[in-house]
Structure 1
Amino acid sequence: MRGLPTWQNLYKDGFKPNKYLLKKFFNNHVKPELEWIKEKGICQKITQYAFYNLGSAFQRFFKGLGKYPNFKKKGRNDSFTIDNGGKPIPVGGKSVKLPTIGWVKTYEALTHTNCKRITISRSADSWFIAFSYEQDCQPSNKPHLIVGVDLGVKQLATLSTGVTFTNPKHYRQNLAKLQRLSRTLPRKVKGSNNRRKAKIKLARHHIKIANLRKDSLHKMTTYLCKNHAKVVIEDLNVSGMMQLHI
Structure 2
Amino acid sequence: MNKAFKYRIDPSVEQESLINKTFGCVRFIYNRMLANRKEIYEQCKDDKESLKQQRYLLPADFKKEFKWLKEVDSLALVNAQLNLQAAYRNFFRDKSVGFPQFKSKHRDKLSYTTNNQGGTIRLIDNKTLRLPKLKDVRIKLHRSLP
Which interval holds the TM-score relative to the shorter structure? 0.5 to 0.7
Match of 2:131 in 1: 98
- 2:56 is paired with a residue whose SS is helix
Match of 2:89 among 59, 62, 66: 59
Match of 2:99 in 1: 68
Q: Structure 1 length normalisation: TM-score?
A: 0.37
Deviation at 1:57, TM superposition (A): 0.9
CA distance in 1, matches of 2:114, 2:52: 23
State the percentage of identical aligned residues: 25
CA distance in 2, matches of 1:54, 1:90: 27
Match of 1:87 in 2: 118
Q: Tell me which amino acid in the other structure corresponds to 2:63.
A: K
- 1:60 is paired with a residue whose SS is helix
- 1:97 is paired with a residue whose SS is strand
| Counterparts of residues 69-218 of structure 1 (less than 5 Å) | 69-75=100-106, 76-84=108-116, 86-88=117-119, 89-91=121-123, 93-108=126-141
Match of 1:206 in 2: none
Q: Tell me which amino acid in the other structure corresponds to 2:92.
A: F
CA distance in 2, matches of 1:73, 1:6: 17
> Which one has more relative contact order, counting CA pairs under 8 Å at least 6 apart?
2
- 2:101 is paired with a residue whose SS is coil
Deviation at 1:46, TM superposition (A): 2.0
Higher strand share: 1
Match of 2:57 in 1: 22
CA distance in 2, matches of 1:21, 1:2: 11
Deviation at 1:110, TM superposition (A): 7.0
CA distance in 1, matches of 2:142, 2:126: 5
CA distance in 2, matches of 1:34, 1:57: 25
Q: Deviations over 1:10-42 (max 9, x none)?
A: 223435369x8332xx433x3211111122x52
Q: Deviations over 1:143-192 (max 9, x none)?
A: xxxxxxxxxxxxxxxxxxxxxxxxxxxxxxxxxxxxxxxxxxxxxxxxxx
Contact 2:34 2:84 (8 Å CA) reproduced? yes
**Superposed structure 1 runs of 4+ greater than 4 Å apart:** none
Rg larger in 1 or in 2? 1
Q: Structure 2 length normalisation: TM-score?
A: 0.58
Match of 2:77 in 1: 47
- 2:126 is paired with a residue whose SS is strand
Deviation at 1:109, TM superposition (A): 6.4
Q: Tell me which amino acid in the other structure corresponds to 2:85.
A: G
Q: Deviations over 1:92-148 (max 9, x none)?
A: 62321001211111233677xxxxxxxxxxxxxxxxxxxx8xx8xxxxxxxxxxxxx
How many residues align structurally?
A: 106
Q: Which runs of 5+ in 1 are unaligned?
A: 112-131, 136-246
Root-mean-square deviation (Å): 2.9
Which 10-residue stretch deviates more, 48-57 or 63-72?
63-72
- 1:103 is paired with a residue whose SS is strand
